[in-house]
């Protein structure tokens, strides 16, 4: 086993922060995509990979002006699937965010070349000491709230001309604003009560080719669970022709923007949110 190695170093720009004053989740995923690319360029520069799933745990806030350092490594190998582990900190100790990213080989995993690559990757596996991500069971039914409808734009596309990881999470981040607005957490409420939303865990699943530049996609969202101060949410993205391309589990809390900690949901907001829970029928 080796140690995680530094694969990204940068900082949080104010324009990357959301209305709640912390780094938007889409810009987290952009950094982890960069770190994963750097790691694979070092370990397997001639191989091609695509991301299938990403689990993220947000331990502490990153805010404008904070530095970001990401250490990464291969923490599991299963046939043609690698799991990359990423740990982001502000460079001053203690994790700010931890990630497990599943990637799949695009080229057939057979023959002598693959055996040699697999042996090399096995020798490069890194120890993972962070809390594991337990499986989350998600319903197949879509949420009741229409939370997005738009074409894939140039600034959301990757080098392959398809919606990037940043683009997926950016759309789901916006979908959450619409979803919480439907539950009564409107912009007026947030300004008057000095409240916001803080995400503490997400799971992104991707299905098949990502939407291409110019292609129309829609998102629907709904609640999975409503607690005292927390909510668990499911977002789903589909092409205009109906094919599901991604879904996104998001767990977060009603957030006191002054105290920078969770705050109990008002009764009315909790009741409204409960009406948006995805039912089994």
| Separation of alpha carbons 141 and 221, rounded Å | 10
* Mean confidence (pLDDT) of the chain: 94
- Domain extent for 120: 1-134
pLDDT at 245 over 90: yes
Whether residue 130 sits in one domain with residue 4 = yes
Cβ-based neighbours of 20, under 8 Å, separated by 6 or more: 196, 197, 198, 255, 257
Q: What is the CATH number of the domain that holds 174?
A: 3.10.129.10
Cα distance between residue 47 and residue 29, in whole Å: 22
Is residue 280 over pLDDT 90?
A: no
SS3 69: strand
Alpha carbon distance 86, 74 (integer Å): 9
* Predicted local distance difference test score (pLDDT) of residue 192: 96
Q: Determine the average pLDDT of the residues in 83-108.
A: 90
Angle (nearest 5°) at CA 249 between 247 and 253: 150
The pTM (predicted TM-score) of the whole model is: 0.94
Residue with tokens 């069971």: 137
Q: Beta strands 195-206 and 216-226: pairing type?
A: unpaired
Residue the block writes with tokens 């805010």: 63
Q: Round to whole Å and give the CA distance between 44 and 66.
A: 31
- Domain endpoint, select from 83, 104, 134: 134
Tell me the pLDDT tens digit for each residue of 193-232: 999 999 999 999 999 899 999 999 999 999 999 999 999 9
CA 270 to CA 114: how far, in whole Å? 53
- pLDDT interval class at 118 (50, 70, 90): confident
- d(C-alpha 117, C-alpha 75), whole Å: 16
**Taking the chain, what is the end-to-end CA distance rounded to the nearest angstrom?**
47
Q: Are residues 149 and 279 in the same domain?
A: yes
On whether both 89 and 155 belong to a single domain, the answer is no
Rounded to whole angstroms, how far apart are CA atoms 50 and 108? Answer: 13
Count up the domains in the chain and report the number. 2
Of 24 and 281, which is predicted with more confidence?
Answer: 24
**Same domain? 142 vs 246:** yes
Same domain, 104 and 180: no
Mark whether 91 and 35 lie in a shared domain: yes
The DSSP secondary structure of 230-262, one letter per residue, reads EEEEEEEEEETTS-EEEEEEEEEEEEETTTTEE
| Same-domain pairing of 216 and 122 | no
Do 55 and 176 have their domain in common? no
Which domain-ending residue is among 116, 134, 152?
A: 134
Closest CA to 26 of 160, 172, 148: 172
Tens of pLDDT along 167-198?
999 999 999 999 999 999 999 999 999 999 99
Nearest one of 176, 218, 166 to 197, comparing CA atoms: 176
Same domain, 197 and 100: no
State the pLDDT at residue 110.
73
pLDDT confidence tier of residue 95, bands split at 50, 70 and 90: confident
Tens of pLDDT, residues 247-262: 999 999 999 999 999 9
pLDDT at 281 over 70: no
Query: Both 29 and 87 in a single domain?
Result: yes
pLDDT average, residue stretch 128-143? 93
Please indicate, yes or no, whether residues 37 and 161 belong to a single structural domain of this protein.
no
Same domain for 253 and 120:
no
Please answer whether residues 278 and 223 qualify as being in contact, where contact means their C-beta atoms are separated by less than 8 angstroms: yes
Domain boundary among 84, 101, 134: 134
């Amino acid at each position: 086993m080796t140690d995680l190695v530094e694969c990204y170093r940068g900082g949080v720009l104010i324009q990357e922060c959301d209305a709640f004053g912390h780094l938007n989740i889409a810009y987290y995923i952009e950094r982890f995509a960069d770190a994963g690319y750097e790691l694979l360029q070092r370990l397997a520069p001639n191989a091609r990979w695509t991301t299938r799933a990403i689990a993220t745990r947000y331990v502490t806030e990153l805010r404008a002006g904070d530095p970001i350092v990401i250490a990464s490594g291969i923490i599991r190998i299963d046939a043609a699937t690698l799991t990359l582990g990423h740990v982001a900190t502000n460079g001053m100790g203690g994790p700010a965010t931890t990630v497990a990213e599943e990637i799949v080989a695009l080229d057939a995993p057979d023959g002598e070349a693959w055996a040699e690559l697999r042996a090399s990757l096995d020798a490069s596996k890194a120890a993972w000491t962070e809390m594991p991500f337990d499986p989350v069971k998600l319903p197949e039914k879509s949420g009741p709230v229409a939370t997005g409808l738009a074409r894939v734009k140039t600034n959301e596309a990757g080098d392959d001309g398809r919606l990037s990881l940043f683009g997926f999470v950016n759309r789901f981040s916006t979908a959450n604003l619409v979803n919480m607005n439907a539950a009564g957490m409107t912009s007026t409420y947030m300004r008057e009560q000095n409240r916001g939303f803080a995400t503490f865990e997400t799971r992104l699943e991707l299905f098949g080719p990502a939407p291409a530049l110019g292609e129309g996609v829609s998102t629907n969202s709904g609640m999975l669970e409503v607690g005292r101060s927390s909510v668990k949410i499911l977002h789903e993205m589909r092409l205009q022709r109906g094919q599901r391309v991604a879904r996104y589990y998001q767990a977060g809390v009603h957030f006191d923007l002054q105290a920078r900690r969770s705050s109990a949901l008002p009764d009315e907001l909790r009741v409204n949110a409960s009406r948006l829970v995805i039912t089994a029928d």
